[in-house]
Structure 1
């Protein structure tokens, strides 16, 4: 009974971490995919990764939409905003699917772009899911192969290198932003 509780707790904590990373949209999700596979095997890891991607995108969509609603009204008169805001939902739906299928388009950019439009949350989630499924399976295949072949020391080194790169990039942007103010 205790083992089942611990496994469930681990699953829920990993799911929350996956959703957070999906909502932020700029942290590479393959890090969590590796953790998911290590913790729950290929099938359980796939389920965790897919659920995290789907609900993370939905959470990010709501966060971006909320943030955009608080932006200065002058920003909303920009022609980029007007172009996207005026697109029909069907076009946005198709664009989200297409952008999710492209492997190197940042997830946060797609989510933020959709949040600029009038598309409702559930059609966004459906389009996002349709586009993410193939991408997630490609990611799972690559990460699973890496986890199976690479020794743990190399896995930890790769994980550390990604974290250092993210921290360096974040710090560099923060410094550039403070210099321009």
Structure 2
């Protein structure tokens, strides 16, 4: 692997980890990019490792962030119930929620970070649940890369980004008018 390819690999791994850590941006687009640039085998490795290590990173970041916030919001009954779940139940819940497509990964990670589950048990549960979901995403992304030319793929990604930006700006403007 030459230096340029190694740099692309590292940058994509960091991007995959960022998407996995925060989990609010669909990883499908990054998975497609992984496959386009590195092929199916290395693209799969990038997507899977980015999702797994990103979730672990996100767990630590959410846990740290929640300790810095005003604790008054945690007195709501919903958060109290979540915080008092046994670690074993959280473990199985993380696996189950990771298996369900389209459940925002960031919500699962943030919710788990509020519970007594240990980071290593979260990492195991998250990995077990993510493996089938990532392989399903890879299968769809691979089909997408094989059926559409790169120009169409990038056009679709650009359109989704522009639409997301417009929706975000409109919501921000609307909330600012109140």
Q: Report the TM range for the smaller structure's normalisation.
A: over 0.9
CA displacement, residues 136-173 of structure 1 (integer Å, 9 cap, x when unaligned): 00100001011011122221221112212332343244
The answer for the alignment partner of 2:126 in structure 1 is: 128
User: Are the aligned partners of 1:89 and 1:118 in contact in 2 as well (CA < 8 Å)?
Assistant: yes
User: Are 1:90 and 2:85 counterparts?
Assistant: no
SS in 1 for 2:155: helix
SS in 2 for 1:74: helix
Return the offset for 1:34.
Answer: 0.9
Structural mapping, 1:68-87, within 5 Å: 68-87=66-85
Distance change in 2, residues 1:117/1:177 (3 Å): farther
User: Are 1:12 and 2:4 counterparts?
Assistant: no
**TM-score normalised according to structure 1 size:** 0.92
The answer for the alignment partner of 1:57 in structure 2 is: 55
SS in 2 for 1:50: helix
CA RMSD of aligned residues (A): 1.5
User: Are the aligned partners of 1:22 and 1:57 in contact in 2 as well (CA < 8 Å)?
Assistant: yes
CA displacement, residues 46-66 of structure 1 (integer Å, 9 cap, x when unaligned): 000001101111111112112
User: Are the aligned partners of 1:27 and 1:166 in contact in 2 as well (CA < 8 Å)?
Assistant: no
For 1:70 and 1:23, the matched residues in 2 are separated by 18
Moved more, 90-99 or 115-124: 115-124
Distance change in 2, residues 1:169/1:64 (3 Å): farther
Q: Give unmatched runs, 5+ long, in structure 2.
A: none
Moved more, 4-13 or 21-30: 4-13
Q: Give unmatched runs, 5+ long, in structure 1.
A: none
The answer for the alignment partner of 2:42 in structure 1 is: 44
Distance change in 2, residues 1:174/1:147 (3 Å): same
